[in-house]
Amino acid sequence: MNPDPNQPETPETPAPAEPVVSTPTPESDPEPTPTPFGAAPVSSEQPAPVIGAQPATTIGSSPNDNPTPNLGGDAKKKKLIILIAAIVGGLVLLGIIAVVLMSILFPSKADYRDAAKQFNTVSSAYSELNSDASRLQYDVSGSTSDTEFTNDSESVTKSLTAFQDANKKLADMKAVKTGEGKKLYSTYEGKVTAFGKYATDLLASLKSYRPVAKACDDVSTSTLLGECVTALGKVGDIPNADLKQFVTVLQTQYKAYQSVQTQIDAISDPYGKSYSQYSALRDQKYDIQDKISEAGSDFSSNATKHADDIDPAAAANALGDFLVKKQR
């Protein structure tokens, strides 16, 4: 086209500028995000669309020299640009939301470090509890004073509470609320719950059993044997099943023991004409003593087995190893 040199040239409509979208690139070794809102804020304003300049027209002597501007085409371009900008902005917003959700839902290395630190507190509390419980075990025999037994019982109560409180703090941490951490903690938590109940029941049972242990420690005379039987009749509540079964056997056998011993004491000539009677009663007493000894062995075996069943050590080690590995 060769326009009239007397007429000004019609400027070309510049192409609309494409919106520039900055796509975040992931870091090669991401550090833990201190807050789920650490990403750059998203602007709530729509990006301004670039609208092409409206073509200029010249006024000539004929309609052909005055082309009509294509206003409808420009309007479509404006709508398309706005639509594209809105879509791109929405995708960017969704990406940021996804990053925020990842930060909220999934633990970072910092979360694992915090959990590992708290786990060390739990381990220390568990060691303290075991130490106090072992000391109390020796107190039950009756070789210690009532004051020592009371003080050691209170120490067990305090250390058990400290252990349970430390576990509650660990349970609230993000590192054990999702994925493999949640699975390992769930197994560990089941053990801790069972262990806590076992320890509480055993402590209450030992407090009830201590008077029996003291009274039945020496039954060499009829008087001492009578004190043992009386203590067994007055024993309090024993929630621990193993110790309760043991005490039930003792109640039966010591009553039988007392009966036999009373009959033996009534024999005036045990090694003379009444020897056969004395010998039979003596054998009954030996048999009862064997049953009492056997009941003690059964109690020790059952108590050890059930304590091992609820011991959280193995589950705790698995969880601790996981937390240490993930914090690196």
Instruction: Write down the pLDDT at residue 74.
Output: 64
Instruction: Write down the pLDDT at residue 68.
Output: 47
Instruction: Write down the pLDDT at residue 149.
Output: 92
Sign of dihedral through CA atoms 93, 99, 104, 105?
A: positive
Which one of 78, 105, 132 terminates a domain? 105
Instruction: Write down the pLDDT at residue 155.
Output: 95
Q: What would the pLDDT profile of 30-81 be if each residue is shown by its tens digit?
A: 444 333 323 333 343 444 444 344 444 443 444 455 554 454 556 666 666 6
Neighbours of 22 (CB within 10 A): 7
Instruction: Write down the pLDDT at residue 23.
Output: 41
Same domain assignment for residues 175 and 147: yes
pTM above threshold 0.75: no
Which of 213, 195, 203, 212 minimizes the C-alpha distance to 156? 203
Cα 297 to Cα 291: distance, rounded to the nearest angstrom: 10
Task: Report yes or no: 175 and 181 within 8 Å, Cβ to Cβ.
Answer: yes
Mean pLDDT by 10 residues, the chain (328 residues): 45 44 42 37 41 40 49 60 61 47 67 95 94 86 84 95 96 93 95 94 94 93 95 94 97 97 94 95 97 96 93 94 91
Q: Is residue 28 part of a domain?
A: no
Looking at the 3D structure of the chain, how many domains does it have? Answer: 2
Instruction: Write down the pLDDT at residue 321.
Output: 95
Instruction: Write down the pLDDT at residue 259.
Output: 96
Which one of 84, 105, 126 terminates a domain? 105
Same domain assignment for residues 121 and 222: yes
Instruction: Write down the pLDDT at residue 3.
Output: 45
Same domain assignment for residues 79 and 132: no
Cα 115 to Cα 14: distance, rounded to the nearest angstrom: 60
Q: Is residue 20 part of a domain?
A: no
Same domain assignment for residues 222 and 301: yes
Same domain assignment for residues 85 and 98: yes
Instruction: Write down the pLDDT at residue 143.
Output: 74
Q: Is residue 36 part of a domain?
A: no
User: b/e map of 100-124 (b: 16 or more CB within 10 Å)?
Assistant: beebeeebbeebbbbbbebbebbbe
Domain range for residue 265? Answer: 109-326
Task: Report yes or no: 164 and 122 within 8 Å, Cβ to Cβ.
Answer: no
Instruction: Write down the pLDDT at residue 226.
Output: 96
Q: What would the pLDDT profile of 218-241 be if each residue is shown by its tens digit?
A: 999 999 999 999 999 999 899 999
Which one of 105, 131, 159 terminates a domain? 105
Same domain assignment for residues 138 and 242: yes
Instruction: Write down the pLDDT at residue 139.
Output: 83
